[in-house]
């Protein structure tokens, strides 16, 4: 998943270009300069701290993170902690116990979950977690888990609405997502501005898909490959990735789903299994590590901001990792085969659990247990050790190096497994975001194979650009666009959540009465 990747303020000021006044600017630098001057205000707006948070808390709290966390808390309370009550039924739905192959839709519950997971399980789980514990200490892990658990309710809300208000076409394909429930749902409730919000959301989604969901992924995959095999031109990686991505996405969602249902379990098992091996080797430290996590969450053992710093870092990285409330996953989940919209809401709540509670926690435990963080003997505060201090910064791009050092601490060759995981994560994120961007594109310009092909070609061109160039402000802008999607989407969720509650109550009453039975 994307993350708050660069220092937006530096990008916005154009300091990169200013550093070489006597030299002719390269193409990359010209693009940087143009984008920084034209869009820096937007990036700063999205990622700016909540007014007064630094004076009140002693730490800048990005308002967009607060926006996501407050929404997740409200949905958790409004739906009566649905993420815990419905968890067993969610597993049954993913297994296909209630699936009717004759229902409208393109993919199974499992395929829809795998496609959405492939868009969120990514570099945020590797680099973002390293940033969280590097700054907030082990205690950031506790708050990251809590934010992930609450985010399950946000996913439940948006994915239920995505299925309820999707468009179903005669050829069996479907289109759904926030832009459809904003238009149709708002119209149903007699609310204004639905069409305007849908257009705004679609524009942000396309920009986010081309940048954070594409260029950044290709760029980081190339960087990780060169760390292993040595330096070579990025356009080579870009062309290879673009060719593979195009081969997958040209076949539509069913082609994407067939790939993601294989890749997601493989990359998830590969990454988690590697982490478990490291934890088993250091089994005697697991209890100690959890003690550091819980102790640091409330006593403040981080290098910045104490308890509040741990809380903010945990919430921030969870929000940036699982995208709960952004609305992107609702696009993938809308294509599921079902006649009960609420069932996909139940399935989707598993997504933040797998992404944040399981995978992010594994990353944090490996970093803590392998000694990448050491405490100061005089203050007791956690700080990076020598290796970590040399590679870890607030800049999200350097987080991968800390995680790589942690994975290599037990066995040097584990860094190669991590490199494979990074490549798979980047690839799966790209193909999922190609679908998100495509559906936003067709909402704006209409359905049709030729119109879809235009977007797919543009998307693959940006894969090459992302791998070959270092377009910081461009990616910053598109990353900000992804979280701008959340601003529009959450407003819609607040206004439409009574419809979700009605669907939930109806479904649960029929399930308890026996009207809804297992299909198998």
pLDDT in tens, 419-446: 787 788 788 888 888 989 999 999 999 8
- Packing angle of the helix pair 286-299, 306-322 (nearest 10 deg): 110
The string of pLDDT tens digits covering residues 188-245 is 999 999 999 999 999 999 988 988 888 888 887 887 788 778 888 888 888 998 998 8
Of 161-170, 261-270, 495-504, which range is least confident? 261-270
pLDDT of 254 higher than 50: yes
Lowest mean pLDDT among 31-40, 169-178, 223-232: 31-40
Give the pLDDT mean for 378-405: 48
Residue 2 pLDDT class (50, 70, 90 cuts)? very low
The dihedral through the CA atoms of 439, 445, 449, 451 has a sign that is negative
Locate tokens 């409200």: which residue?
74
How confident is the model at residue 132, as a pLDDT?
A: 74
Give domain limits for the chain. 8-18+25-508
Alpha carbon distance 480, 389 (integer Å): 28
**Residue 3, pLDDT score:** 41
Q: If we measure between CA atoms, which residue out of 311, 390, 261 comes closest to residue 141?
A: 311
Mean pLDDT of the region 385-389: 41
Q: Mean pLDDT, the chain, as a whole number? A: 79
Torsion of CA 194, 199, 203, 206, to 10 degrees: 90
Confidence at residue 375, expressed as pLDDT on a 0 to 100 scale: 56
Rounded to an integer, the average pLDDT of 160-167 is 92
pLDDT band of 124, cuts 50, 70, 90: low
| Mean pLDDT on 377-406 | 49
Whether pLDDT at 278 is above 50: yes
Task: Indicate if the pLDDT at residue 379 is higher than 60.
Answer: no
**What is the band of 6 on the pLDDT scale with cuts at 50, 70, 90?**
very low
Compare 92 and 315 and report the one with higher pLDDT.
92
Percent of the chain with pLDDT over 70: 80
**Percentage above 90 pLDDT, the chain:** 23
The average pLDDT across 466-486 equals 78
* pLDDT of amino acid 258: 74
Q: Is the Cα torsion angle 31, 4, 478, 267 positive or negative in sign? A: positive
According to the model, what pLDDT value does residue 112 have? 81
- Quick: pLDDT tens for 87-96: 998 998 888 7
Return d(Cα 478, Cα 211) in angstroms, integer.
Answer: 5
pLDDT > 70? residue 394: no
Alpha-helix runs per DSSP H in 190-233: 194-210, 216-229
User: Rounded CA gap, 364 and 292, in Å?
Assistant: 11
DSSP 398: G
Residue 175 has pLDDT above 80, yes or no: yes
What interhelical angle do 399-408 and 129-136 show, nearest 10?
90
Q: Which helix (H) or strand (E) holds 485?
A: helix 472-513
pLDDT at residue 259 in the model = 74
Count the alpha carbons within 13 Å of 468 in the hemisphere toward its beta carbon: 15
Say what the pLDDT of residue 35 is: 64
373, 138 contact by CB (below 8 A):
yes
pLDDT recorded at residue 18: 42
Residue 33 has pLDDT above 80, yes or no: no
pLDDT of residue 9: 32
What's the length of the chain? 520
Q: Measure the CA–CA gap between 272 and 122, rounded to whole angstroms.
A: 13
Asked if residues 344 and 336 have their Cβ atoms less than 8 Å apart, the reply is: yes
More confident residue, 314 or 427: 427
Question: Is residue 388 pLDDT above 90, yes or no?
Answer: no
Higher pLDDT, 244 or 300: 244
Nearest CA to 352 out of 381, 382, 376, 321 is that of 321
Q: Contact, 1 vs 323, CB < 8 A?
A: yes
In this structure, which CATH number among 2.20.130, 2.60.34, 2.60.40, 1.20.1740 belongs to the domain 8-18+25-508? 1.20.1740
Residue with token string 């926030």: 178
CB-based contact 519:99 (threshold 8 Å): yes
Low-confidence winner among 124-133, 264-273, 282-291 (lowest mean pLDDT): 124-133
Rg (CA), the chain: 22
Comparing 210 with 5, the larger pLDDT belongs to 210
Q: Report the alpha-carbon distance of residue 13 to residue 16 in Å, rounded.
A: 8
Give the pLDDT score at 253.
Answer: 65
The confidence score (pLDDT) of residue 62 equals: 81
- Residue 392 dihedral angles phi and psi, to the nearest 5°: -95, 125
Would the pLDDT of 57 be above 90? no
Residue 403's pLDDT is 73
Higher pLDDT, 122 or 42: 42
CB 128 within 8 A of CB 3: yes
* Mean predicted confidence (pLDDT) in 160-179: 88
What confidence tier does 104 reach under pLDDT thresholds 50, 70, 90? Answer: confident
pLDDT in tens, 316-335: 777 767 788 889 889 988 88
Q: Which of 507, 489, 496, 357 is nearest to 78 (CA)?
A: 496
CA distance 107 to 440: 19
Report the phi/psi class of residue 273: left, alpha or beta, with left for phi > 0 and alpha for psi in -120 to 50: alpha
Q: What is the mean pLDDT of residues 150-166?
A: 93
pLDDT at res. 204: 92
Q: Which is higher by pLDDT, 450 or 304? A: 450
pLDDT of 480 over the 80 cut: yes
Burial level of 370, CB count in 10 A (0-12/13-18/19+)?
A: buried
């Amino acid at each position: 998943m994307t993350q708050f990747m660069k220092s937006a303020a530096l990008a916005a000021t154009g300091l990169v270009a200013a550093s070489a006044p006597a030299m002719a600017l390269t193409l990359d630098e010209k693009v940087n300069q143009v984008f920084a001057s034209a869009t820096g205000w937007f990036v700063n707006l999205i990622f700016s701290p909540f007014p007064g948070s630094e004076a009140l808390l002693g730490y800048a709290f990005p308002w967009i993170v607060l926006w996501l966390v407050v929404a997740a808390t409200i949905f958790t309370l409004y739906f009566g902690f649905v993420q815990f009550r419905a968890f067993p039924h969610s597993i049954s739905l993913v297994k296909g116990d209630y699936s009717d192959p004759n229902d409208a839709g393109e993919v199974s519950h499992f395929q829809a979950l795998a496609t959405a997971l492939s868009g969120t399980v990514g570099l945020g789980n590797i680099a973002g977690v390293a940033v969280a514990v590097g700054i907030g200490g082990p205690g950031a892990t506790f708050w990251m888990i809590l934010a992930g658990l609450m985010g399950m309710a946000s996913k439940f809300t948006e994915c239920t609405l995505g299925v309820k208000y999707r468009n179903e076409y005669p050829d069996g394909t479907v289109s759904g997502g926030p832009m459809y429930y904003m238009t149709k749902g708002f119209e149903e409730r007699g609310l204004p501005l639905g069409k305007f919000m849908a257009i705004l959301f679609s524009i942000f989604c396309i920009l986010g898909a081309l940048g954070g969901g594409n260029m950044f992924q290709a760029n980081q995959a190339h960087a990780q490959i060169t760390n292993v095999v040595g330096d070579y031109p990025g356009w080579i990686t870009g062309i290879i990735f673009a060719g593979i991505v195009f081969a997958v996405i040209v076949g539509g969602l069913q082609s994407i789903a067939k790939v993601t249902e294989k890749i997601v379990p493989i990359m998830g098992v590969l990454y988690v299994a590697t982490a478990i091996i490291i934890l088993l080797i250091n089994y005697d430290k697991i209890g100690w590590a959890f003690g550091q996590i819980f102790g640091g969450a409330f006593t403040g053992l981080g290098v910045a901001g104490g308890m509040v710093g741990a809380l903010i870092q945990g919430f921030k990285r969870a929000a940036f990792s699982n995208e709960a409330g952004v609305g992107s996953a609702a696009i993938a989940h809308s294509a599921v085969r079902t006649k009960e919209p609420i069932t996909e809401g139940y399935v989707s709540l598993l997504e933040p659990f797998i992404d944040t509670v399981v995978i992010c926690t594994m990353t944090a435990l490996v970093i803590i247990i392998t000694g990448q963080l050491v405490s100061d003997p005089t203050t007791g505060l956690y700080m990076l050790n020598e290796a970590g201090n040399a590679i870890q910064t607030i800049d999200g791009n350097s987080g991968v190096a800390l995680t790589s050092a942690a994975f290599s601490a037990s066995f040097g060759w584990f860094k190669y497994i991590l490199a494979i995981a990074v490549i798979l994560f980047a690839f799966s994120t790209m193909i999922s975001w190609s679908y998100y961007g495509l559906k936003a594109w067709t909402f704006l310009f209409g359905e049709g194979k030729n119109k879809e092909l235009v977007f797919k070609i543009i998307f693959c061109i940006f894969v090459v650009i992302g791998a070959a160039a270092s377009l910081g402000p461009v990616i910053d802008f598109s990353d900000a666009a992804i979280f701008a999607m959340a601003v529009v989407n959450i407003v819609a969720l607040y206004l439409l959540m009574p419809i979700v509650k009605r669907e939930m109550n109806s479904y649960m009453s029929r399930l308890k009465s026996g009207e809804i039975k297992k299909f198998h």
